[in-house]
Amino acid sequence: MPIPSWRRRFILFIQRFWQPTSACMSCMPGSLGNLLSAPHWLLALQTGLLTGVLALVLTFTPAGRLFSNRYGNALVVGVLTMIGDAFSHPGHYGPHGLEATLTGIVSGLLALAGSFLFEDRAKRLRGLWARVRGRAALHR
């Protein structure tokens, strides 16, 4: 197994930081006013940081190969986010672990969507934008 470069590990850490943070922000209960709440952000950032560190540690093991497959990556990100969320704070609603599970699922889906949208230097997004711009130019 080739050892990933430090640059690749850094990119992986950043990706595994923002996906769980975003998922945690969207899954925590409350109103939209919580998006401006410092304690809410602190909990989300703790979840993202813990998940990013766990993902970074995983790159030093054979399980790090899962990051190269989009579905394996989504599964690992979801599970790591669940672990990170469970350790960061107690659940805010429902049975024990429900919020952490929901956050993990959302994070895994974000990772899967990101792999489709941003692979190959965002080829799909650039193609979609070109089609939208082309149609907009025709209607003028």
For 26-76, the pLDDT digits (tens) are 777 665 667 778 888 888 888 888 888 988 898 888 988 888 888 998 999
Q: Is residue 17 part of a domain?
A: yes
Distance, in Å, from the CA atom of 77 to the CA atom of 85, rounded to the nearest integer, reads 12
Distance, in Å, from the CA atom of 102 to the CA atom of 50, rounded to the nearest integer, reads 17
Distance, in Å, from the CA atom of 21 to the CA atom of 28, rounded to the nearest integer, reads 11
Q: Is residue 1 part of a domain?
A: no
Q: Is residue 52 part of a domain?
A: yes
Mean model confidence pLDDT for the chain = 80
Q: Is residue 80 part of a domain?
A: yes
CB 80 within 8 A of CB 20: yes
Q: Is residue 84 part of a domain?
A: yes
Q: Which of 123, 129, 128, 81 shows the shortest CA–CA distance to 105?
A: 81
Work out how many domains the chain is built from and give that number.
1
Q: Is residue 26 part of a domain?
A: yes
Q: Is residue 56 part of a domain?
A: yes
Percent of the chain residues topping a pLDDT of 90: 4
- What pLDDT score does 39 carry? 83
Q: Is residue 114 part of a domain?
A: yes
- What pLDDT score does 79 carry? 92
The burial of 137, by beta-carbon neighbours within 10 Å (0-12 exposed, 13-18 middle, 19 or more buried), is given as exposed
- What pLDDT score does 1 carry? 43
pTM for the predicted model, two decimal places: 0.72
Structural domain range at position 30: 6-138
